[in-house]
Structure 1
Amino acid sequence: MKKRFITLFFTLISVNINCCDPEDLDKPSDLEKAKSCDGKVCDLRGAYLRKADLRGMDLSRVNLEGANLNYTNLSDAKLRNLKGADLFEANLYQADLYGANLSRANLKRAFLVGAYLSGADLSDAYLWQARLSSAFLSGSNLERANLREANLERATLSRSNLNGADLAFANLHSADLSYAKLNSANLRDANLTNADLNSAVLYATKLESANLQGADLTYAWINGKQRLPVDPW
């Protein structure tokens, strides 16, 4: 019994000694790495940056694919690669996300007011209850994105791809959706009052209970038929 105890004791000591690479102890944390990446090329894939303060930083050359950015302050930051990143309730106020890769990213309840997302890839992104009022999304790819209950008031979505997107209960009051593609999109119960849908394409689009009061549908294509200026709604 005593021999077994001694053997077990030294085994545990051995495991404890060898559990960590001594070099790892000198490695900087993900936050320290991020802070040193301002304007530089860095690989921070899968980094843990929850609640970090990265406001105003130029991270346009940083790969943040799959990074944990929950509650992170990225206001006024410049970002490009956030594919599959977790940005739950992140602050992206007026962030520069021009042409950024945000496909499959989690942006649930994220604060994107005034953010610049023109040309960004947000395909399959999760934007439930995201705050996107006055955001610039012209030419962006939002195919199959979940935008349920999102606030897109006065957002610019001209020429964007919203095919298959879920916009149920979304607020699109005074939003610019001119020339946007909304094929098979879900706009049930959405608020589209005073929205600009000029020349937008809506085929097999769900519009049940949507509020279109004051919306401009001039030249919009609805189920294969173009609505001319003289056509009644």
Structure 2
Amino acid sequence: MLSVETITAGYGAITVLRDVSLTVGANEGVAVIGPNGAGKSTLVRALCGLNPVRSGRIVKDNREIHGLPAHRRTAAGIGVVLENRRLFGELTVRTNLDLAAREGDKRGSAGRRFSLDSILALFPFIEQRLDAPVELLSGGEQQMVAIGRALLLQPDLLVLDEPSTGLAPKIVKSLVGIIARIRGEGVSVLLIEQNVQLASEAADRAYVMKLGRVVDEIGPENWRGAVKDESLTRAYLGA
């Protein structure tokens, strides 16, 4: 599915990621956790083509994609929900979703998992808000629209960058079920999160980042136990 191999990336002359490697398998949920400043969002930007990779490789389905522009990575089956969501606030929910659906249609019927009807089934509130400008929605509602828009691109890998940021606890809790349903459609999920509890419930295993490097990998057999161990949580997140 996805293999990130010793990539280095950053901003201008500043190097943020240093020899970062990770993998995501088919229909797998993988979390990347770490404190602020660990390089998690820079990793997301490198994966989706917003930050160039200076060295190393990103391979998706046995194809090198680190040299592709962002829109070509979408065509390769990668959907991304950035932390700031990047919705078109002045446009309606329907228009935001339609724009993604048109792009997703280019992948053809073989890669089609999601339709507007399936998005409405996943997020029932959207049906009543289809003709409302996105900027009038709450933060939690906007996050659901952003996830729905990414799914209409028909990805087989969904990258979620800090999806719980700024959301009420009730909405955060619902994200676990939403991610499970997405994975039930055969979509792998790479979850970038500071909320370790959410990550532990939504992902099978985790990578820990600190100062731009992957400093630990927690396998499925140890993941839940590591979350419950407060000393390990302090070591991983510095809190």
> What TM-score, normalized by structure 2, do the two folds share?
0.26
Greater relative CO, 1 or 2 (CA 8 Å, sep 6+) = 2
Compare the two structures and name the one with the higher helix fraction: 2
Structure that is richer in strand per residue: 2
TM-score by length of 1: 0.27
Rg comparison, structure with higher value: 1
